[in-house]
């Protein structure tokens, strides 16, 4: 399966450019590969942060409601942990 690539021109300040080039030399990898990895990592962090905020907003919205606490689920978790402790 062929992956399509797109070029994306990103002007860098001189100091950032020098740091990227130096790290690329140190790792013996192309600077573009390092930049691609850094962008992918940053975007993943953004996704995780957005998910965290969505979960937090949901929890705040449903605090004190039936969605906030499930007695059956808690009881099942307690029983599971007690059974696990007896196995050890």
Give pLDDT tens digits for 43-78.
999 999 999 999 999 999 999 887 888 888 889 999
Both tokens of 59, joined, read 């929890």
Does residue 6 form part of some domain? no
Question: Comparing C-alpha atoms, which of 36, 34, 6 is closest to residue 20?
Answer: 34
Does residue 29 form part of some domain? yes
Does residue 9 form part of some domain? no
The three-state secondary structure class of 6 is: coil
Does residue 3 form part of some domain? no
**Considering the entire predicted model, what is its pTM?**
0.68
**Structural domain of 49:** 14-87
Q: How many domains does the chain have?
A: 1
Does residue 42 form part of some domain? yes
């Amino acid at each position: 399966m062929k992956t399509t690539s797109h070029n994306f021109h990103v002007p860098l300040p001189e100091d950032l450019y020098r740091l990227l080039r130096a790290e690329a030399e140190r790792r013996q990898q192309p600077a573009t590969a390092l930049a691609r990895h850094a962008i992918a990592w940053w975007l993943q962090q953004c996704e995780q942060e957005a998910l965290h905020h969505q979960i937090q907003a949901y929890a705040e919205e449903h605090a004190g409601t039936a969605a906030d606490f499930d007695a059956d689920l808690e009881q099942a978790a307690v029983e599971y942990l007690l059974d696990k402790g007896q196995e050890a």
